[in-house]
Amino acid sequence: MTTTATTLKGQPLDKAAVDSLLRRRLFYTPSFEIYGGVSGLYDYGPPGCALQANIIDLWRKHFILEEDMLEVDCTVLTPHEVLKTSGHVDKFADWMCKDPKNGEILRADHFVEDILESRLRGDKEARGQKVEEKEEDPKKKKKKSKGHEAIKLDDAVAKEYEEVLARIDNYNGEQLGELIKKYDLRNPATGEQPTPPVAFNLMFQTSIGPSSNTPGYLRPETAQGQFLNFAKLLEFNTGQMPFASASIGKSYRNEISPRAGLLRVREFLMAEIEHFVDPEGHKKHHRFHEVEDMELVLLDRDTQLSGKTTTQTISIGQAVKDGLVDNETLGYFLARIHLFLKKIGIDQSKVRFRQHMANEMAHYATDCWDAELLTSGGWVECVGCADRSAFDLSVHAKKTGAPLIVRQRLDEPKVIEEWEVEIEKKKFGPFYKKDGKTIEAAILATTQEERGKLGKELEENGKVFINVPGVGDGKVEVSKDLLAVKWQKRVENIREYTPNVIEPSFGIGRILYSLMEHNFWTRASDGGDEARGVLSFPPAVAPTKVLIVPLSSHKDFAPAVRKLSQKLRSAGLSSRVDDSSASIGKRYSRNDELGTPFGVTVDFQTVKDATITLRERDSTRQVRAEEDKIIEAIRALVEGTKTWQDIESELPLFEGQQEAEVTVR
Ligand SMILES: Nc1ncnc2c1ncn2[C@@H]1O[C@H](COP(=O)(O)OP(=O)(O)OP(=O)(O)O)[C@@H](O)[C@H]1O
């Protein structure tokens, strides 16, 4: 497996060259740049928008269409109560510390990681080993020529650093503070040790409406909207389980110090799936057999806890059998995520699935695997795949009293003996007034064990105290004329359960950036000019499919170019005309930078017999044939039903003049 970032052709990846190309060709650009910009906010230009739209299109086909998922589009603005209930208000935070001298705000885990990595690089250099520079904040780079000093570390210390780094995502704030003290970690900009880490909530707060009495947030994930619509979606699905909902939309996180370009931003596009499954029956998946032989590269929790980052390549079937991956549904989605990444052109040697360690897991998750992609910034989480158990549906049901459950008709009736609560509705509502619903929901959410105790207490004292957070002091007195708790026997024909949720969550911006790095390489120029960048996107995701190049601006070419553009449009193939005065070779190489996979040249022969040449971006080889045959070939190549080799075997090769420097004035 590759461990450092290289180009598609095995060249060392020149991050500065990729970034300069991407900005120069307007894939993306800092937002509000002429006002000085705001970190973590970027705009996409035309090729970036087209690339993103094509990735989303394939995502929809690969997941939503393939699996009959129910797509929803929910609002970004979310009331406080929803995110309080989901746990985000209290727990959706990162650890932040501050440089006491210059006030610089640092994300604690990234700070520890950066300094330890830089010490290890210094150690390598002192030992005369090859050092890979980690990409850093460009503003900082100006101050220092390199991010580390060549100082040899004690072997045991170096090993300890490696172990800390393998577990870096597992530390809480206090532990990060201890690491900062223990290793005397100082901000290189000031030489100061930062303050102890404190939790910083990542949500953007706002108020909804003019009176500011409805506090809210910009959503940090699309998931909550899907959970809140669960009952309606289940009904839409005629009560059938399992099923999945899906949503594509913007999410917002007030990242502490975003410096990694598109990889860490404050506003980003997410594509999320919530697959609802019955927790009984080991979360089996009826299509698991289709993927069980697929081999995935896995980095499990125990390996990381032992301070290592060694991966294993194992079939997903075996991983589930061994209990490494908890269940078939989770395993199925890991495999499907892998297939999607392959389809859009992610380099297969730069993908691994890493399991979360216990402390690292989000507050709602019981198991989680991230699809990580290797970039110039190291391994980056691009897709999270979490088993959220019944957490979200349960907490929202408990809070609102809404039945976020499945009712399943049983083949055989079931006799059940258990504690049942009976609420005296006629008196209960008028007695508790506006708090009635919340108190009732809290009573209904009690466990059997709790009900047993309540039953006894009611009998002995004639009243009980119920825990109801947010009402009074959190404890509400309920008397026996309002509530009865009885041990009862009943026959059930219906089973009620709260589904568990498996959630694959895609950050489209991170995938898009990794895709650009993975497909970048440089081609030496024949004419002795500087090497030119090429983005070898698969045709299906390439922003523009065809470049039309008239040999010159000669007026005879104009009708042929117009006709060709029209035919390509009708065939659903995006094209651009480059009729500038640059040489054909230059025009092609300019479009190689945009990742345009095919080019057609309109020349004097075209005017005579309607034949055109078709050039393939990566090999620069060309075929020549009648216009309609070429358009058909392009369509097959974009749809993936034919390869370039197929086309070369079907159509006559063209070894003419155009690729070389044919300068037309
Ligand atoms: N600040 C961000 N910028 C761009 N994409 C992001 C950002 N935060 C999350 N994502 C994307 O959303 C996906 C799902 O979000 P999730 O909550 O699992 O991320 P996370 O674990 O908080 O990420 P990280 O640990 O890198 O902050 C991630 O896999 C990633 O692709």
The answer, yes or no, to whether residue 502 has pLDDT greater than 90, is yes
**What residue's CA is closest to ligand 1, atom 2?**
264
Please identify, in words, the CATH class of the domain defined by 15-84+205-391+502-508. alpha beta
Ligand 1 centre distance from Cα of residue 295 (Å): 25
| Least confident stretch, 337-346, 447-456, 467-476 | 467-476
Confidence band, pLDDT 50/70/90 cuts, at residue 12: confident
The predicted pLDDT at position 140 comes to 44
The predicted pLDDT at position 357 comes to 86
Q: Look at the domain 544-654 and name its fold.
A: Rossmann fold (3.40.50)
pLDDT in tens, 190-201: 999 999 999 999
Ligand 1 centre distance from Cα of residue 114 (Å): 19
The predicted pLDDT at position 646 comes to 96
The helix or strand, by DSSP H or E, that contains position 420, with its residue range, turns out to be strand 406-423
Euclidean distance between CA atoms 49 and 309, whole angstroms: 36
The CA-atom distances, in angstroms, between 45 and each of 48, 49, 425 are 5, 6, 60
Confidence band, pLDDT 50/70/90 cuts, at residue 659: very low
Euclidean distance between CA atoms 52 and 49, whole angstroms: 5
Ligand 1, pocket-test mutation among 44, 268, 363, most atoms within 8 A of CB: 268
**What residue's CA is closest to ligand 1, atom 27?**
264
For residue 651, count other CB atoms closer than 10 A to its CB: 17
Confidence band, pLDDT 50/70/90 cuts, at residue 650: very high
For residue 616, count other CB atoms closer than 10 A to its CB: 18
Q: Is 265 in the pocket of ligand 1 (CB under 6 A)?
A: yes
CATH architecture of 93-201: 2-Layer Sandwich (3.30)
Confidence band, pLDDT 50/70/90 cuts, at residue 518: very high
Q: What's the average model confidence in pLDDT over 406-434?
A: 92
Q: Is 137 in the pocket of ligand 1 (CB under 6 A)?
A: no
Amino acid identity for residue 452 in this structure? G
Q: Is residue 119 a contact partner of residue 147, using CB atoms and an 8 Å limit?
A: no
Q: Is 383 in the pocket of ligand 1 (CB under 6 A)?
A: yes
The predicted pLDDT at position 307 comes to 84
pLDDT in tens, 117-131: 999 988 888 888 776
Ligand 1 atom at minimum distance from 368 CA: 18
Q: Is 509 in the pocket of ligand 1 (CB under 6 A)?
A: yes
**What residue's CA is closest to ligand 1, atom 16?**
384
Among 634, 638, 535, residue whose Cα is nearest residue 591:
535
Contacts of 341 (CB under 8 A, 6+ apart): 351, 371, 373, 382, 383, 511
Q: Is 382 in the pocket of ligand 1 (CB under 6 A)?
A: yes
503, β-bridge pairs: 386
65, β-bridge pairs: none
Q: Is 504 in the pocket of ligand 1 (CB under 6 A)?
A: no
The predicted pLDDT at position 483 comes to 94
The predicted pLDDT at position 656 comes to 67
Domain locations along the chain: 15-84+205-391+502-508, 93-201, 406-497, 544-654
The answer, yes or no, to whether residue 133 has pLDDT greater than 70, is no
Asked, as a colleague might, if the bond just before 543 is cis with ω within 30 of 0, I would say no
**What residue's CA is closest to ligand 1, atom 19?**
384
**ipTM of the shown complex:** 0.98
Q: What percent of the chain has pLDDT over 90?
A: 75
Ligand 1 atom at minimum distance from 272 CA: 14
pLDDT in tens, 532-559: 899 999 999 999 999 999 998 888 899 9
The predicted pLDDT at position 147 comes to 58
| Least confident stretch, 210-214, 242-246, 567-571 | 210-214
For residue 428, count other CB atoms closer than 10 A to its CB: 18
Q: What's the average model confidence in pLDDT over 245-269?
A: 94
The predicted pLDDT at position 66 comes to 97
The predicted pLDDT at position 663 comes to 35
The answer, yes or no, to whether residue 2 has pLDDT greater than 70, is no
Q: What is the mean pLDDT of the chain?
A: 91
Q: Is 507 in the pocket of ligand 1 (CB under 6 A)?
A: yes
Ligand 1 centre distance from Cα of residue 255 (Å): 10
The answer, yes or no, to whether residue 658 has pLDDT greater than 70, is no
The answer, yes or no, to whether residue 431 has pLDDT greater than 50, is yes
Q: Is 505 in the pocket of ligand 1 (CB under 6 A)?
A: yes
Confidence band, pLDDT 50/70/90 cuts, at residue 143: very low
**Distance between start and end Cα atoms, the chain:** 49
Q: Is 264 in the pocket of ligand 1 (CB under 6 A)?
A: yes
Q: Where are the alpha helices (DSSP H) in 345-420?
A: 391-400
Q: What's the average model confidence in pLDDT over 275-297?
A: 95
The CA-atom distances, in angstroms, between 11 and each of 426, 530, 635 are 77, 16, 31
Euclidean distance between CA atoms 611 and 593, whole angstroms: 27
Q: Which tokens hold the place of 571?
A: 């065939």
Same fold for the pair 15-84+205-391+502-508 and 93-201 = no
Ligand 1 centre distance from Cα of residue 124 (Å): 31
Confidence band, pLDDT 50/70/90 cuts, at residue 167: confident
The answer, yes or no, to whether residue 489 has pLDDT greater than 90, is yes
The whole model's pTM is what?
A: 0.85
The predicted pLDDT at position 440 comes to 92
The predicted pLDDT at position 530 comes to 72
Ligand 1, pocket-test mutation among 381, 506, 508, most atoms within 8 A of CB: 381
Euclidean distance between CA atoms 94 and 203, whole angstroms: 11
Q: What percent of the chain has pLDDT over 70?
A: 95
Ligand 1 atom at minimum distance from 380 CA: 26
**What residue's CA is closest to ligand 1, atom 9?**
507
pLDDT in tens, 325-345: 999 999 999 999 999 999 999
Ligand 1, pocket-test mutation among 200, 510, 513, 515, most atoms within 8 A of CB: 510
